[in-house]
Amino acid sequence: MPAKKTTPDFILMIVTLMLLAVGLTMVYSASAIWADYKFDDSFFFAKRQMLFAGVGIIAMFFIMNVDYWTWRTWAKVVIIICFVLLLLVLVPGVGNVRNGSRSWIGVGAFSIQPSEFMKLAMIVFMAKFLSEKQKLITSFRKGLVPSLGLVFLAFGLIMLQPDLGTGTVMVGTCVVMIFIAGARISHFIWFAAAGLAGFVALVLSAPYRIKRITSFLDPWEDPLGSGFQIIQSLYAIGPGGLFGLGLGQSRQKFFYLPEPQTDFIFAILAEELGFIGGSFVILLFALLLWRGIRIALGAPDLYGSFLAVGIIAMVAIQVMINIGVVTGLMPVTGITLPFLSYGGSSLTLMLMAIGVLLNISRYARY
């Protein structure tokens, strides 16, 4: 391997920390009223988010100094551990149920969500598989089926929780990696047809998913039911205007938008900071993705390139889905906004992923 650079990608690091700072500020602003009402502590969610941010930053800087090809050596072990955790979370008494999903393992607020860590584990493993078997990826039987077979096995376990949003991000990320590796478009067409049929079956198997689709098309058809979240989100974004109502001045966080510190935090941000604030956050994400793409293009080996592509694809897909949901362009799926939404597993996972990306940047040739 080439000699290390003296420093990792400084712009990527600063942009990440800026997004994290915005996120911590908005988690407090969005959650203070609800936290004071429910826990008699307006800092309840903010304190926990700061704790997870601290853990995540330590993990990011530690991983930044771990040579990225080390993860190739441990890829199989890491993904096996994540598969075991996905099985354990389904065991009654082990997995915790929240909002109808058995997705957490742990005690109280200090729980982990195995499906979140499976996303990164799958990226690490797929980067190893694609870098070693790239010549076979054009083969439907020897390349595409084994790679997507493992992905859909993990997706199936995640859907047993169920967690369609996280599973969708994982599958989308891996599809991007496989496409970049050189898989044939004709093969993707067959898988796309099968995937669409499977997606329709998943939607039809759960009445609440059907309601989410119909509410996406016309949320005002059921304004107090399935369309409630989308309508309240739009009511937050609309009054924000160009400059917003001012930090801390949101009206929708007063028990109109359910738990605004999580999936719909961008709506509160747009309400308080306006079009300018929302555009600034999107610009930060665009800068992060640009630096990630540069790192992927400059990585010294295929493994580093695929690893960087996977991380960037994961972030990009989550951002597009979350903002699409908040603005009413996509059905509600329950996807967090990276670095901004409240959630320990999601935040820690994203900072760890950025740590891997920063390490790759120490070897990248720009």
Tens of pLDDT, residue by residue over 293-347, are 999 999 999 999 999 999 999 999 999 999 999 998 888 777 899 999 998 888 9
Q: What's the confidence (pLDDT) of residue 164?
A: 81
Phi, psi dihedrals of residue 51, rounded to the nearest 5° = -65, -50
Q: What's the confidence (pLDDT) of residue 109?
A: 57
Name the H helices within 4-107. 10-39, 44-64, 70-73, 75-88
CB 266 within 8 A of CB 4: no
Domain assignment of residue 136, yes or no? yes
Domain assignment of residue 4, yes or no? no
Tell me whether strands 95-98 and 110-112 are parallel, antiparallel or unpaired: unpaired
Domain assignment of residue 20, yes or no? yes
Q: What's the confidence (pLDDT) of residue 255?
A: 83
Helix (H) or strand (E) holding 96: strand 95-98
Q: What's the confidence (pLDDT) of residue 358?
A: 96
Domain assignment of residue 5, yes or no? no
Domain that holds residue 33: 10-362
What is the pTM assigned to this prediction? 0.91
Domain assignment of residue 153, yes or no? yes
Q: What's the confidence (pLDDT) of residue 110?
A: 64
Q: Which residues of the chain have pLDDT under 50?
A: none
**Dist CA 341 CA 49 (whole Å):** 9
Domain assignment of residue 58, yes or no? yes
**Dist CA 300 CA 360 (whole Å):** 9
Q: What's the confidence (pLDDT) of residue 6?
A: 65
Q: Considering its fold, how many domains does the chain have in total?
A: 1
Q: Which two tokens stand for residue 213?
A: 């689709």
Domain assignment of residue 1, yes or no? no
Q: What's the confidence (pLDDT) of residue 138?
A: 72
**Burial call 155-168: b when 16+ CB within 10 Å, e when fewer:** bebbbebbbbbbbb
Residue 46 vs residues 43, 54, 166, 269, 270: alpha-carbon distances, Å = 5, 12, 23, 15, 19
Domain assignment of residue 2, yes or no? no
Q: What's the confidence (pLDDT) of residue 132?
A: 86
